[in-house]
Structure 1
Amino acid sequence: MSGLLALLDDVAAIAKVAAASIDDIAGAAAKAGSKAAGVVIDDAAVTPKYVTGFSADRELPMIWRIAVGSIRNKLVFLLPALMLMNAFLPQAITPLLMLGGAYLCFEGAEKIFHVLFPKGDHKVEEDFDIKDPTHLEEEKVAGAIKTDFILSAEIMTIALAAIPVSSLWQEAATLALVGLLITLAVYGAVAVIVKMDDVGLFMAATGRSGAGRAFGRGLVAGMPHLLAALSSVGTLAMLWVGGNIITHGLEVLGWPWLYDQIHHLAEAASLSLPQAAGFVTWAVTAAIDGLFGLALGLLVIPVATRIIGPLVDLFKKPSKSH
């Protein structure tokens, strides 16, 4: 009997430790998620542009596929890679993030270049030419998952840095929880945004009051403009997030001049409007990061389209048998 009681005491003690660990994980996840909030907002702004222009019945399936790809990015690839690098090669994390930031700058700059100079460079135009319309959805989903990988890497790295030092399994569990919750929040919000026109149609057709039906018609009329605006914000977000990754990475690697100059300019601007100092600081920082990202992206375009792209295509081609 005494052995059974001792066993029950041990089980109770283990349960208490497990419960405390779960509380610690939840608390750490909330803190880490708040640290990554800025990139999360950018992620939500980037995604809707990938489903703009498709029929209504394809929007949610596309968002679902992108969300599944995002979870795979975070849990299958980034989580183990970040944990391993954090344990054995932490100095590699910043350079890899900077490579991802350079890619975001390239993608954002390429889209702006395409708008400003639609016939300016045939290599850039090839990136926007979907030669087989039946593969358009596949191209868009693949592009969204690729962009999500870089934004997810930034989110997960920021979250990992904010997690208190603890056991390996607890840090991994916290990071996994952050990844899942952020994915649900981002793609849940995106799904609501892209389906608001359907909600508007329903309200316009079944509303019990004139105001309700008018509101529904307003939603239907306004959503294309909102989605177009979000698409533009998504492109700008690529530039300011990519630019910020690069400037912050340079600061971490021991070249803080550019990061410090941007920080000082943002602080000086915030003094002119102390009532909204936080917003002004963010806006000025984002604007300068975005301009830097655009300049860097424009410099990367010829390298990516004329050197890296052809090399990738060369490796993709199957070897001919003799």
Structure 2
Amino acid sequence: MPSGLAALLDDVATIAKMAAASVDDVSAAAGRASMKAAGVVVDDAAVTPGYAMGFSPQRELPIIRKIAIGSLKNKFLILLPGALVISAFAPWALTPLLMAGGAYLCFEASEKLWEKLAGHGGGEIAPEELALSSVEQEKKMVGSAIRTDLILSAEITAIALADLAERPLATQAAALALVGLLITVAVYGAVALIVKMDDIGLHLAERRSASARALGRGLVHAMPLVLTGLATIGTLAMLWVGGGILVHGLHEYHLDLVPGVIENLGHAAGQVPLIGPVTEWLATAAASAVVGLVIGGVIVAILHLIPGRHRAAH
């Protein structure tokens, strides 16, 4: 009997060790996949605050909460099952889907740059939008934000899945779920902080302490710069990530001219003493962003040649 109990305890310990190893494996896989998706996460955090702007301060956090719930539904009800089906039955489709998503990121970033350079996209409100009540406008903005989130979350899921392709299906599911949850909490937690930063600044500006008032005024004045900086970083991140995805896809299909040039460029930049890894990464990221800008620019040019699209955009 004692020997049977010892064997049972030994089996339990073995199962516990396997479970712990599995948790570690999922955590490590989720961490690496999250890092690969960092560029899209930055853009997500940069884009979302705009959907809560223009509403009363009391409605800002409820709007962010609605978008965050919609984002979780996107990830867990649509994208996670779809990713697992692709992984199980059509793994060959992952690279072309990833490249299509990368091209879309490049297009989005390039169109933002085009609109900025051409003086378009100045945020003018259409007459039909002015006619909407605040409740209708809020519903419209939340729906638009959730649709945008679906696109960005699909890219995050595809990037993460590509890094998990060799893992067992259960590990893929757990890691994708963990990535989705962590990224949603991180993105919308940051968005909520950004949206309320001016209110925090106003509150501090009313305090008796001179240092608190100075900090509050600084936060209020800094917010436009922060939002502009986030938008710029998000655009650059989209070019870098989208271009990198396309370069990696070309390598997967053994079209190594461009990937080879970028690899050699990165290797040469990495010869700088002490900071070689940093300069190698910067050179590779910059080269990938240039590829993204070229591909995105071509797509933008083609779409602007389509009759009727230019008029519809204005």
TM-score, normalized by the shorter chain, greater than 0.5: yes
2: CA distance, partners of 1:168 / 1:192: 36
Query: Structure 1 vs Structure 2: percent identity of aligned residues?
Result: 49
**What are the residue-to-residue correspondences of 1:61-100 with 2, within 5 Å?**
61-100=62-101
Q: Give the structure 2 partner of residue 280 of structure 1.
A: 282
Call closer, same or farther: CA 1:212–1:282 in 2, change over 3 Å. farther
After TM superposition, the structure 1 stretch with the greater mean CA deviation from structure 2, 60-69 or 36-45, is 36-45
**1:233 counterpart letter in structure 2:** I
Q: Does residue 258 of structure 2 align to residue 261 of structure 1?
A: no
2: CA distance, partners of 1:287 / 1:40: 16
**1:34 counterpart letter in structure 2:** M
Contact 1:263-1:285 at 8 Å conserved across structures: no
Shift of residue 248, structure 1, vs aligned partner: 2.9
1: CA distance, partners of 2:126 / 2:236: 22
Q: Give the structure 1 partner of residue 301 of structure 2.
A: 299
Contact 1:203-1:213 at 8 Å conserved across structures: yes
Shift of residue 260, structure 1, vs aligned partner: 3.1
Contact 1:79-1:176 at 8 Å conserved across structures: yes
SS of aligned partner of 2:48: helix
SS of aligned partner of 2:254: coil
Q: Give the structure 1 partner of residue 128 of structure 2.
A: 131
After TM superposition, the structure 1 stretch with the greater mean CA deviation from structure 2, 85-94 or 10-19, is 10-19
Contact 1:239-1:293 at 8 Å conserved across structures: no
After TM superposition, the structure 1 stretch with the greater mean CA deviation from structure 2, 218-227 or 247-256, is 247-256
Contact 2:94-2:162 at 8 Å conserved across structures: no
2: CA distance, partners of 1:56 / 1:126: 20
1: CA distance, partners of 2:88 / 2:12: 32
**What are the residue-to-residue correspondences of 1:233-248 with 2, within 5 Å?**
233-248=233-248
Call closer, same or farther: CA 1:23–1:140 in 2, change over 3 Å. same
TM-score (norm 1): 0.76
Shift of residue 216, structure 1, vs aligned partner: 0.8
Q: Deviations over 1:108-152 (max 9, x none)?
A: 333333333357xxxx99998473233554454344333333332
1: CA distance, partners of 2:125 / 2:114: 11
Q: Deviations over 1:45-95 (max 9, x none)?
A: 333344344443333233222222222222222211111111211111122
Q: Deviations over 1:178-215 (max 9, x none)?
A: 11111111211121122111111111112x52112111
Gaps of 5+ in 2: none
Shift of residue 39, structure 1, vs aligned partner: 3.4
Q: Give the structure 2 partner of residue 107 of structure 1.
A: 108
Q: Give the structure 2 partner of residue 196 of structure 1.
A: 197
Output the aligned Cα RMSD.
3.8
**1:218 counterpart letter in structure 2:** G
1: CA distance, partners of 2:140 / 2:35: 32
Gaps of 5+ in 1: 311-322
SS of aligned partner of 1:255: coil
Aligned length: 304
Q: Give the structure 2 partner of residue 150 of structure 1.
A: 151
After TM superposition, the structure 1 stretch with the greater mean CA deviation from structure 2, 215-224 or 257-266, is 257-266
TM-score (norm 2): 0.78
1: CA distance, partners of 2:290 / 2:211: 43
Q: Give the structure 2 partner of residue 251 of structure 1.
A: 251
Contact 1:262-1:285 at 8 Å conserved across structures: yes
Call closer, same or farther: CA 1:280–1:30 in 2, change over 3 Å. closer
